[in-house]
């Protein structure tokens, strides 16, 4: 476990010792003695939080407070509306590609309706059993192995997305969010309306918004890496720096200067090593 320090806060961060065997699933472990109102920055993945420690994370969101293990669809935290806090937090955080999330969860990300949902609502009593197994595990690597086996088993039996939807998602990721919806529809042989409908119902967001979220994710990680907003805007497909500013404000509720110092983004290089910001299918499908 490595240490991540940000201001007065110190987190313990653990990573799997080997690449995951299940495509579209990546994870990291966190031990945080005092998590103080962490702003959640939107990410193009379904977020699954499996907690097992002495304390319990608290998610403050539009629906109120959520405690314990939770799940949320792509774009969690838009407009800076979601915060995480808690004491003695220990958890495994899983990032699921939207392409595999329906099979793993047993429900479409669209069913989450943009909300933070208690995992018990989807998995019932199994969540309590998982919590106990994670708490009893001797090491983080054992926890990662246990979690991966659980998710792989669920994916094998869950409903897959349409191949055309998966292909469109991969094209959006490979194009760093710059691919046009008309081009995607033509490539998969569907009408624009049909692509919009299937993509939205199976992945939880329409293709145009998915592209916007992928583009934003690349941009903010480049900002965190120290690149200037003008350069990020020019390289990232934004019309100008003001366009980048508006998108960052829409997704985070704050400015590019402020978001560049967000710990939720800064910890990525430790928690998700090799994630890159290139936006290839491999990058996202392995996150």
In tens, the pLDDT along 232-276 reads 999 999 999 999 999 999 999 999 999 998 888 999 989 998 763
Q: SS3 of 117, please?
A: strand
pLDDT of residue 93: 96
pLDDT tens sequence across 117-132: 999 999 999 999 999 9
> If you ran DSSP here, which 8-state letter would residue 276 be given?
-
- The stretches of 158-262 forming alpha helices (DSSP H) are 163-174, 181-188, 192-203, 207-224, 229-235, 241-252, 256-259
**Spatial distance between the Cα atoms of 218 and 186, rounded to a whole number of angstroms:** 26
The 8-class DSSP code of residue 70 comes to E
Q: Where are the beta strands (DSSP E) in the chain?
A: 2-6, 9-14, 25-39, 46-51, 58-61, 64-67, 70-72, 83-96, 116-118
Nearest to 51 by CA among 20, 16, 86: 86
Cβ(85)–Cβ(38) below 8 Å: yes
Cα 87 from chain centre: 22
DSSP 25: E
pLDDT tens digits, one per residue of 41-79: 999 999 999 999 998 889 999 889 999 999 999 999 999
Query: What is the set of domains in the chain, with CATH numbers?
Result: 2-157 (2.60.120.10), 163-285 (1.10.10.60)
What percent of the chain shows pLDDT beyond 70?
95
pTM over 0.85: yes
Q: What is the pLDDT of residue 275?
A: 60
């Amino acid at each position: 476990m490595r240490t991540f320090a940000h201001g007065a806060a110190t987190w313990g961060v653990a990573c799997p010792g080997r690449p995951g065997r299940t495509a579209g699933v990546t994870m990291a472990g966190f031990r945080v003695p005092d998590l103080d109102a962490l702003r959640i920055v939107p990410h193009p993945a379904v977020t699954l939080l499996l907690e097992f420690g002495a304390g319990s994370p608290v998610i403050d969101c539009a629906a109120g407070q959520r405690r314990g293990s939770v799940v949320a669809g792509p774009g969690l935290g838009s407009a800076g509306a979601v915060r995480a806090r808690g004491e003695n937090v220990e958890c495994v955080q899983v990032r699921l590609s939207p392409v595999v999330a329906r099979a793993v969860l047993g429900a479409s990300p669209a069913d989450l309706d943009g909300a933070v949902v208690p995992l018990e609502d989807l998995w019932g009593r199994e969540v309590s059993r998982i919590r106990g197994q994670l708490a009893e595990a001797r090491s983080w690597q054992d926890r990662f192995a246990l979690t991966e086996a659980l998710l792989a088993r669920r994916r094998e039996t869950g409903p897959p997305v349409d191949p055309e939807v998966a292909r469109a998602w991969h094209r959006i990721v490979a194009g760093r969010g710059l691919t046009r919806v008309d081009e995607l529809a033509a490539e998969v042989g569907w009408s624009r309306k049909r692509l919009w409908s299937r993509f939205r119902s199976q992945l939880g967001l329409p293709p145009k918004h998915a592209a916007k979220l992928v583009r934003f994710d690349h941009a903010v990680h480049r900002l965190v890496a120290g690149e200037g907003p003008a350069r990020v805007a020019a390289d990232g497909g934004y019309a100008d720096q003001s366009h980048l500013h508006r998108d960052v404000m829409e997704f985070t509720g704050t400015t590019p200067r402020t978001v560049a110092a967000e710990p939720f983004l800064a910890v990525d290089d430790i928690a998700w090593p090799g994630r890159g910001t290139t936006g290839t299918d491999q990058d996202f499908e392995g996150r």
